[in-house]
Amino acid sequence: MSGRIFTHTPVGYLEIISDGTALIGISSCSEPFGDVSGDSVAAEAERQLAEYFTGKRRRFELPLRLCGTDFRLRVWNALADIPFGSTVSYSGIAAAAGSPKACRAVGNAVGKNPFLIVLPCHRVIASDGTLGGFSADINIKKYLLEFEKNIL
């Protein structure tokens, strides 16, 4: 059984999709749409996201079904290691992913992250300290960085 639910958060609605065993995506959306049929995996993600937004959770413990190239998988795994409230440059992620010269490719892989917030791509910034890009609205990235800074 698979599940799809929407949860309202301080950054707007998030769509949470699972295959019944693991999450297959968390993304930002402007409003709920289509059929909704939650399952225990999606419900657990919703619970942990609620804890994150109340400042009670700093790391997620969810089963993720990551599907991508070897390089993307290395980048996404490196995202999971960025501590709450910290930022890392694209070049730092490139080094952590074992491809120190692949900064542009890292930007592309970060932009394809299928698990908004859970794999904290919002914590990746340009080496000059500017925010860089973001697959969702850049204001969400700004909010999340400020939110985590204020929790610490």
Which residues are marked as active site? 121
Gap between the Cα atoms of 11 and 139, Å rounded: 9
Angle at 20 between CA 54 and CA 64, to 5 degrees: 60
Which three-class secondary structure string do you get for 11-79?
Answer: CEEEEEEECCCCEEEEEEECCCCCCCECCHHHHHHHHHHHHHHCCCCCCCCCCECCCCCHHHHHHHHHH
Gap between the Cα atoms of 32 and 102, Å rounded: 36
Exposed, middle or buried by CB within 10 Å (0-12, 13-18, 19+), for 129? Answer: exposed
